[in-house]
Amino acid sequence: MWQDVKMLNAITNALLGLVLLTWLASGLWWLAQWPIFALKTIRVEGMAEEPLHRVNRLTIRAGAVPRIKGSFFTADLDAARAAFESVPWVRKATVRREWPDKLIVMIEEHRALGTWGDDGRLLSVKGDVFTANLAEAEDDGELLKFNGPEGSEQDVVAYYRRFCDWLAPIEVMPETVVLSNRYAWTIKLDNGMTMELGRAESDAALKERIDRLVAVYPQLMEGLKGKKIEHVDMRYPNGLALKVDGLLPVASSGKKK
């Protein structure tokens, strides 16, 4: 091999090229560390031109900025995105560079719908569970209450919206929605009444139970003459059971579901 001049020249050229590339990479790395390329501005904006309500300069400065390392060229954008997404109220962040010394951060905030469970966590309108200051969340009004098995958060939010639509004819709204570990639904309404809906094979089966109450609700309220319905059990196949303030419970016949 050592007598093969062409091969020796090729090896020499390859080694020289490798050395040059190493020098070039070292030079570029050294150049990238110059103060002129330091990050001087981090601009934070809401996604889709929506204003930010909860995320402010103080939370960004305290929670995200100290975790951003490097210059314009060497900053890790994935790490920067993770830093911003760790800030309370941030649902999603995207980060990009803008020449010569800026990071542009687009943030989507959580919008709280209510609380989830009993540990002070919040549930967003998109079904995400997150941790933030409850007092801040309550600034927009009283929070609804939700609970369910782990992983059911988005389903619970989706059914909450269905329940709102189905109950709209009698002008009541859910303020608590609970899905048990047996996947049975319980709703507390804003008039103080609790509804037991039980388990159901389909949306249609749940809607049928609510429709049954909606159909008789005006007559019930007229017949009760101002007495408050505390609890209604809709788990019967063809009827319901009522618990009324000051009256003994009255139930239809049939097996509960």
What confidence tens digit (pLDDT) does each residue in 60-100 have? Answer: 989 999 999 888 888 999 999 999 999 999 999 999 999 88
Contacts of 85 (CB under 8 A, 6+ apart): 91, 92, 93
Q: Is residue 56 part of a domain?
A: yes
Q: For residue 47, what is the DSSP state?
A: G
* Positions of the chain with pLDDT under 50: 2, 23-25, 27-28, 30-32, 34, 253
Q: Classify residue 114 by burial, with Cβ atoms within 10 Å: 0-12, 13-18, 19+.
A: buried
Total domain count for the chain? Answer: 2
Q: Is residue 140 part of a domain?
A: no
Predicted local distance difference test score (pLDDT) of residue 37: 62
Q: Is residue 125 part of a domain?
A: no
pTM, entire model: 0.81
Q: Give dist(CA 84, CA 130) in Å, integer.
A: 14
Predicted local distance difference test score (pLDDT) of residue 19: 53
Query: DSSP 3-state assignment of 210?
Result: helix
CATH number at residue 246: 3.40.50.11690
Q: Is residue 23 part of a domain?
A: no
Predicted local distance difference test score (pLDDT) of residue 223: 87
Which of 58, 80, 109 is the last residue in one of the domains? Answer: 109
Predicted local distance difference test score (pLDDT) of residue 72: 84
CATH number at residue 71: 3.10.20.310
Q: Is residue 131 part of a domain?
A: no
Structural domain including 153 reads: 148-251
The strand pairing partners of 232, in sequence order, are 195, 242
What confidence tens digit (pLDDT) does each residue in 24-37 have? Answer: 445 445 444 545 56
Q: Do residues 152 and 104 both lie within one domain?
A: no
